């Protein structure tokens, strides 16, 4: 019966074309509670985006971080931490301004980007750090 209904309404044997929703960037949201487990214990080069909702420049850098996460997926761990919601970690790393990107290897800070810089600058620094690993 179902097949007859499909034929009557023109749906018989027509493949369903479902549009695949866009994948969100592979960015891990971290908190003060899980920062050590996720970021400091990561075997990958890690980029942490410290941001806040009220911060306009953070929106620009967050977009760049999204591009970075897609381009280096599997080679670089990309995380984001809301500095207002989780203030302990930014204080521990002396994050004084937003946006700030920390680049860490084996739990140790090896580079820092404060303020807005171009995506090419971020990529250049990440590439250099990957080459030196």
Residues labelled as active-site residues: 55, 58
**Cβ–Cβ < 8 Å for 68, 78:** yes
Give me the residues paired with residue 79 across strands.
Answer: 28, 48
Cβ-based neighbours of 125, under 8 Å, separated by 6 or more: 103, 111, 113
Integer Cα distance of 126 and 47 in angstroms: 9
Q: What are phi and psi of 28, to 5 degrees?
A: -100, 120
Specify the DSSP element, H or E, that contains 28: strand 27-29
């Amino acid at each position: 019966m179902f097949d007859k209904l499909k034929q009557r309404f023109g749906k018989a044997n027509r493949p369903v074309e479902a549009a695949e929703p866009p994948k969100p960037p592979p960015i891990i949201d971290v908190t003060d509670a899980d920062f050590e487990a996720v970021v400091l214990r990561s075997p990958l080069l890690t980029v942490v985006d410290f941001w806040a909702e009220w911060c306009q420049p953070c929106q620009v850098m967050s977009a760049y971080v999204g591009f970075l996460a897609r381009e280096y997926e599997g080679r670089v761990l990309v995380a984001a931490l809301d500095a207002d919601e989780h203030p302990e970690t930014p204080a521990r790393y002396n994050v004084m301004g937003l946006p700030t990107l920390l680049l860490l290897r084996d739990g140790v800070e090896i580079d820092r980007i404060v303020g807005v810089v171009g995506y090419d600058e971020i990529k250049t620094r990440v590439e250099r750090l990957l080459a030196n690993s």
